[in-house]
Chain A
Amino acid sequence: MAINLGYFLKESVVSFRRNWVMSLGAVITIYLSLLLVGASVGSSMIVSQVVRSVEEKVSIRVFLKDGAAPADVDSLQAALVADARVKNVKYTSKEQALKDFGATMVESPELVDALEVNPLPASLDVDLKTPQDVNAVVAMIKANPTFLKVADRPDKPEKSLKYGQQIVNQLFAFTRVLRAVGAVFIIMLAIISLIFINNTIRLAIYARRKEIGIMRLVGASNWFIRTPFLLEGTLQSLLGALLALLTLGSIQWFVMPKVRETISFLPVTLSAGAAAQISAILILSGVVIGLGGSAFALRRYLKV
């Protein structure tokens, strides 16, 4: 078997060199397809991580009308704290709200100074234990009779509440589109790679037709005849996969830190585990494409 492996490898390399333009073409298409696979899997991993972090920040803000009776506010706060799904409730006064607003507007403090009256309402900030409960808790608040008494705009209760579910939904919709577009491209590129491998193996079979004839004549087993071609296709596609990994790796090491500097408020990192997962996906799909493409060519062009 050791002798055979050396023989097969030698045959594959010789064949690659004999036919290097087509082989290179196959390697490049596989490289591009797997690069796209890796990039879209990686970015969708990052996006879902961002979505999760946004979800974690999901809190419900209940705006209170000016001059709401403190007793009513306290009773609403008590009702909220009593709910099992609520982690904690924080009261933000009008003054505090203005101060917070000023903190976000440090670059143009004159805008804040220009305000003659404080337009910001006081609020109760409700943190939840799990983000999935947002809608239920919102419904619970709306049903609370005290809420209507203290709400900033009792005529439109919806406007007195602000919560992050909308943002999360939009992000999820975005990732769905991203995944669908990615999947279409990946499928197209996978087909093109298969066709390319199929073609290079066909040429390799043609180049070696005399040897194949003699091998059949003297009784080389079918697998002995087939293996160098399967190996050739697989090696080509593994080469493409390794190049794709190298490119993605340099993006992870050299480009991502820059991106993190630019948008430091979002957790755009790819963990080592996720990177390993992507590497495994790329190597595996490389093997599948290489084996599949050459097996297809062998079925069609190599009669044993």
Chain B
Amino acid sequence: MISMRNVSKVYGADKPALGDVNVEIEQGEFVFLVGHSGSGKSTFIRLLQRELLPSSGTIIVAGQDLTKMKNWKVPFLRRNIGCVFQDFKLLPNKTTYENVAFALEVIGRSKHVIRTQVPEVLRLVGLEDKINSYPDELSGGEQQRVSIARAFVNRPPLLLADEPTGNLDPATSLGIMSLFSRINKTGTTVLVATHDREMVDSMRKRVIALENGVVIRDQDRGVYGYGD
């Protein structure tokens, strides 16, 4: 699903944000990307979205080489990648339903598809009762569920999450993580960048640890780390 070979990313002339990263992620895997702030997690995620291009190396996502991809094809790549962020990125003037439907509208899905898929995904994330609520009427955890519903409504084979529980309390975070786990069980590859130690330790999934832009550990059924 994801293959990064000798990937480096340098902003300006300083030391690299990512240096010589080699990572292979198979389809259907659940992977945590851990590290301190500034360790390169966000750069890693943005490279996969082709929000950024690497300074060197190759990145292959879903069989496509992002470094050789034409600009006009990028939107079609992104339809296959669901994205979840720390700040939810919901539109405040749209209801739960409309926020999720928006993701389908703008890629030209028919009204019929929207009417069947949106309620379905809202049921999956447990928000069937909040369909007509606006984001400011929802709790942080509920807002994050809306944003996950939006990321998943098009059934992408890959889901990327950048600090999805960064603004949430531990109990709520647990709920979000089990939601990711459920999505992963449908066959979707899930990559979660986080520095939530408890979460990573309790889930026992594959862990890739970054430090100063370098992969220092890549471990199946791993934990957040020792000693730090």
Count of inter-chain pairs, beta carbons less than 8 A: 54
Selecting from A92-100, A142-150, A216-224, the interface stretch reads A216-224
Q: Is A219's CB under 8 angstroms from B110's CB?
A: no
Name the interface size band of chain A: 10 to 19
State the 4 A-B residue pairs at the shortest beta-carbon distance, nearest first.
Answer: A219-B78, A219-B79, A220-B106, A218-B103
Is the CB of B111 closer than 8 A to any CB of chain A? yes
Is the CB of A88 closer than 8 A to any CB of chain B? no
Residues in chain B near residue A214, CB distance under 8 A: 89, 91, 102-103, 106
Q: Is B150's CB under 8 angstroms from A218's CB?
A: yes
Query: Apart from A214-B102, A222-B75, what are 12 other A-B pairs with CB-CB below 8 Å?
Result: A3-B108, A4-B108, A214-B89, A217-B49, A217-B83, A217-B89, A218-B79, A218-B102, A219-B78, A221-B108, A222-B71, A224-B106
Is the CB of A211 closer than 8 A to any CB of chain B? yes
Q: Is A215's CB under 8 angstroms from B106's CB?
A: yes
Chain A interface secondary structure, helix, strand, loop or mixed? helix
CB within 8 Å of A: which B43-101 residues:
49, 71-72, 75-81, 83, 89, 91
A219-B75 contact given A213-B89, A214-B89, A214-B103, CB 8 Å threshold: yes
Distance of A231 from chain B, by nearest CB (Å) = 15
20 A-B residue pairs with Cβ-Cβ distance under 8 Å, sorted by A, are A7-B105, A211-B102, A214-B91, A214-B103, A214-B106, A218-B78, A218-B79, A218-B103, A218-B151, A219-B77, A219-B79, A219-B80, A219-B81, A221-B72, A221-B76, A221-B107, A221-B108, A222-B72, A224-B108, A225-B106
Is the CB of B154 closer than 8 A to any CB of chain A? yes
Q: Is B107's CB under 8 angstroms from A219's CB?
A: yes
For B76, the closest partner residue in chain A by CB is: A219
What string of 1s and 0s marks CB contacts (under 8 Å) between B19-54 and chain A? 000000000000000000000000000000100000
CB within 8 Å of B: which A4-23 residues:
4, 7
Q: Is A220's CB under 8 angstroms from B107's CB?
A: yes
For A218, the closest partner residue in chain B by CB is: B103
Residues in chain A near residue B110, CB distance under 8 A: 3
Residues in chain B near residue A7, CB distance under 8 A: 105
Q: Is A217's CB under 8 angstroms from B105's CB?
A: no
For B81, the closest partner residue in chain A by CB is: A219
Q: Is A3's CB under 8 angstroms from B107's CB?
A: no
From B75, B83, B111, A220 is in contact (CB under 8 Å) with B75
Distance of B191 from chain A, by nearest CB (Å) = 16
For A220, the closest partner residue in chain B by CB is: B106
Is the CB of A210 closer than 8 A to any CB of chain B? yes
**Given the complex of chains A and B, what is the CA–CA distance between A294 and B89 in angstroms?**
27
**Given the complex of chains A and B, what is the CA–CA distance between A232 and B150 in angstroms?**
28
Distance of A219 from chain B, by nearest CB (Å) = 4
Interface-centre pick from A213, A216, A220 (highest chain B CB count, 10 A): A220
**Given the complex of chains A and B, what is the CA–CA distance between A220 and B84 in angstroms?**
17
**Given the complex of chains A and B, what is the CA–CA distance between A70 and B105 in angstroms?**
95
Distance of A55 from chain B, by nearest CB (Å) = 57
Residues in chain A near residue B49, CB distance under 8 A: 217
Interface-centre pick from A213, A221, A225 (highest chain B CB count, 10 A): A221
Residues in chain B near residue A213, CB distance under 8 A: 89
**Given the complex of chains A and B, what is the CA–CA distance between A218 and B74 in angstroms?**
11
**Given the complex of chains A and B, what is the CA–CA distance between A221 and B107 in angstroms?**
7
From A216, A218, A224, B154 is in contact (CB under 8 Å) with A218
Distance of A220 from chain B, by nearest CB (Å) = 4
Q: Is A211's CB under 8 angstroms from B91's CB?
A: yes
For A7, the closest partner residue in chain B by CB is: B105
Residues in chain B near residue A219, CB distance under 8 A: 75-81, 107
**Given the complex of chains A and B, what is the CA–CA distance between A218 and B109 in angstroms?**
12
For A224, the closest partner residue in chain B by CB is: B106
Residues in chain A near residue B75, CB distance under 8 A: 216, 219-222
For B82, the closest partner residue in chain A by CB is: A218
**Given the complex of chains A and B, what is the CA–CA distance between A219 and B80 in angstroms?**
8
**Given the complex of chains A and B, what is the CA–CA distance between A217 and B81 in angstroms?**
9
**Given the complex of chains A and B, what is the CA–CA distance between A50 and B167 in angstroms?**
78
Distance of B60 from chain A, by nearest CB (Å) = 18
